[in-house]
Homo-oligomer: A and B are copies of this chain.
């Protein structure tokens, strides 16, 4: 019996399961693909680091070691600031109680920008600016597709809020929107249309602010599907996207990528079979995969994930059909070709499972085990941060 603690883990075969695996070759290709697309459109990327929550991945995604970056929690901003990032958009509508931590970061010289879509929030920001004698920069959130938050284009509140901020001592820096509705619009044509709607809403609201005599330097848009499929970004000053580094089965279902582009997977061990039912049991349940069922309403429902061999090559139509906390049940998906057979995977075999939603699956782990395509050698271990 070897002592696990003193045996160096150098290959996937040595890892405890479940473990989170990042294919760096694929991740690098995904990043290069989006950067090259945006560079053709001449718009810089402000990557959203909520998907990856890793300092090493932040450096792969950002255009410089100091940013710019987008985050979804103040905690992410704090961790990134400690690591030297200086230009951070906190992309979730500001809660007044969070302004203290934002101000603390700004006093360390970090340019943290907040987002809001209500007069109440603007009042809280203005009040904080007065209290701390600090011009907090603000982007007003625009609702470009009705899916969540933001001010609708044409709503007179936009200019009212802008004026309150400008007059009240905040810095009105611009507008931002997120075409989250694009996740429900598969196909190249629809994604291109979603990207154009996103652009038009943001640019129109920026114009409305400028015509009211207010400044609006920043016009920030983005989601992974619209970032990849935008054809024209006239008037836009930056694009945000996060999951593009990993991609996932939901993105494949939308037509953004193929399963072969997905850079994230969960390593699992076979722990049983139910022959009569055509089931294989593994030790990766929802605690490892997350409970995301994002492909359920797509054309191909992958259950809780698509199963690959240890090198990342998919078994035809083998998916995780059900999951308990630490059990995954593998079977051939209904609708899979009749030629698809349950592979011969004895107890102890290793598999890798591609996730529906990379952000949710990655969040179940505290580190990435990094490999390069085909090889099962672990070339790095990258910690993840979490919490609020």
Q: Which residues of A contact B (CB under 8 A)?
A: 1-4, 16-19, 50, 72-74, 92-98, 100-101, 103-104, 116-118, 120-121, 124, 131-132, 143, 146, 148-149, 180, 269-274, 277, 281, 283, 286-288, 290-293, 322, 324-327, 329, 346-348, 359-360, 363-366, 386-388
- A118-B359 in contact given A50-B326, A148-B329, A327-B148 (Cβ < 8 Å): no
The answer to whether A272 touches B387, judged by C-beta atoms less than 8 angstroms apart, is no
CB<8 Å pairs between A and B, sample of 15: A1-B104, A3-B104, A4-B100, A16-B98, A92-B327, A93-B271, A93-B272, A95-B348, A97-B348, A117-B272, A121-B271, A148-B327, A149-B271, A149-B281, A365-B387
Q: Which residues of B contact A131 (CB under 8 A)?
A: 1
Least Cβ distance of A289 to chain B in Å? 10
- Tell me, in angstroms, the Cα distance from A85 to B66 when the chains sit together: 47
Residues of B with C-beta under 8 A to A348 = 95-97, 120, 124
Docked complex Cα distance between A90 and B347 (Å): 17
Q: Which residue of B lies closest to A367 (CB)?
A: B387
Check if A347 sits within 8 Å of B124, measured CB to CB: yes
- Find chain B residues with CB under 8 A from A387 CB: 365-366
Q: Which residue of B lies closest to A327 (CB)?
A: B148
Give me 8 other A-B pairs in contact (C-beta within 8 A), A17-B95, A50-B325 excluded: A17-B97, A17-B388, A118-B347, A148-B322, A148-B329, A149-B274, A180-B324, A291-B291
Contacts of A120 in B (CB 8 A): 346-348
**Quick one: closest B residue to A95, CB to CB?**
B269
Tell me whether B96 and A149 are in contact (CB under 8 A).
no
Q: Which residues of B contact A2 (CB under 8 A)?
A: 100
In the assembled complex, which residues on chain B have CB atoms less than 8 Å from the CB atom of A326? 50, 72-73, 92
In the complex, what's the smallest C-beta–C-beta distance from A220 to chain B, in angstroms?
17
> Contacts A50-B326, A72-B326 hold; do A388 and B19 have CB atoms under 8 A apart?
yes
Known contacts A17-B388, A360-B291: does B118 contact A272 (CB below 8 Å)? Answer: yes
List B contacts of A93 (CB < 8 A).
271-272, 281, 283, 327
Say how many copies of this protein the assembly contains.
Answer: 2
Least CB distance, A8 to chain B, in whole angstroms:
15
Residues on the B chain within 8 Å of A180, using CB = 324
How far is the CB of A241 from the nearest CB of chain B, in Å? 13
Nearest CB of chain B from residue A24's CB, rounded to whole Å: 22
CA distance A184 to B143 in the complex (A): 39
- A272 vs B157: C-alpha distance when bound (angstroms): 14
Most buried by B among A92, A322, A346, A388: A388
Task: Name A18's contact: one of B17, B96, B388 (CB within 8 Å).
Answer: B388
Q: Given the complex, which residues of B lie within 8 Å of A322, measured CB to CB? A: 148
* A95 near B274: Cβ-Cβ < 8 Å: no
CA distance A160 to B41 in the complex (A): 67
Q: Which B residues are in CB contact (< 8 Å) with A329?
A: 148
**Complex CA distance for A294 and B25, rounded to whole angstroms:** 37
CA distance A325 to B73 in the complex (A): 10
Which residues on the B side are within 8 Å of A143 (C-beta)?
274
A334 to B98, CA, bound (A): 32
A366-B387, A387-B366 given as contacts; is B272 within 8 A of A347 (CB)? Answer: no
**Residue among A124, A132, A291 facing the most chain B CB atoms (10 A cut-off):** A291
Known: A291-B360, A347-B118. A148 touches B96 (CB 8 A): no
CB-CB under 8 A from A271, the residues of chain B are: 92-95, 121, 149
